Amino acid sequence: MKKDQVNDCEDVILSMELMVDNLNEVVKMLDRQAIISMLQKIIEGERVFVMGAGRSGLVAKAFAMRLMHLGFSVYVVGETTTPAVHPQDVVIAISGSGETRSIANLGRIVKDIGSTLITVTSKKESTLGKISDITMVLPSKTKNDHDVGGSLEKSMRGDYRNSPPLGTSFEITSLVFLDSVIAQLIIFTGATETELKLRHTNIE
């Protein structure tokens, strides 16, 4: 590891600009009908289950927390207190590649149960993308994209030194997208800031 003296922060600023540019490009490509269908299924579902591995799993937990604040019955797949999934439930998988073995296998189980499977991914033609009832595509570089030649950043900048590493682009994009879904659900449910705060944990 280099231990040179730090004398500027321009690469930090440039990396942030790249992330913002990526978000702006993704917004232009979003499937509006898929978003509407996703919102409808979340509202209609008896319970919501979320799942993801690694950093995508952290994004899934953040989304679950916000759904809880809104009063939804929500669970994180893999937690010891998570109950059995039923056909009337909605399961939301978050996977940049759509190929993460553990999540793809769980997706198949969800389909066998007969539950609604929604996948947030960057790869529509992935294993999860193909088996899902709704595939919400967020075009972003993932950890499996070794060649950055096809990334959004290259087409915009032509320089990849400051590109976010591994799956960071997808994780940031999915976090922003899912928080935006929450913003829409707040409007649909009529929830107030006070109600959200009342449901927030009080033993932290």
Instruction: Catalytic residue, from 171, 193, 195, 204: name it.
Output: 171
3-state secondary structure the chain: CCCCCCCCCHHHHHHHHHHHHHHHHHHHHCCHHHHHHHHHHHHHCCCEEEEECHHHHHHHHHHHHHHHHCCCCEEECCCCCCCCCCCCCEEEEECCCCCCHHHHHHHHHHHHHCCEEEEEECCCCCHHHHHCCEEEECCCCCCCCCCHHHCHHHHHHCCCCCCCCCCHHHHHHHHHHHHHHHHHHHHHHCCCHHHHHHHCCCCC
Q: Look up 171 and say whether it is catalytic.
A: yes
Residue positions annotated with a catalytic role: 171
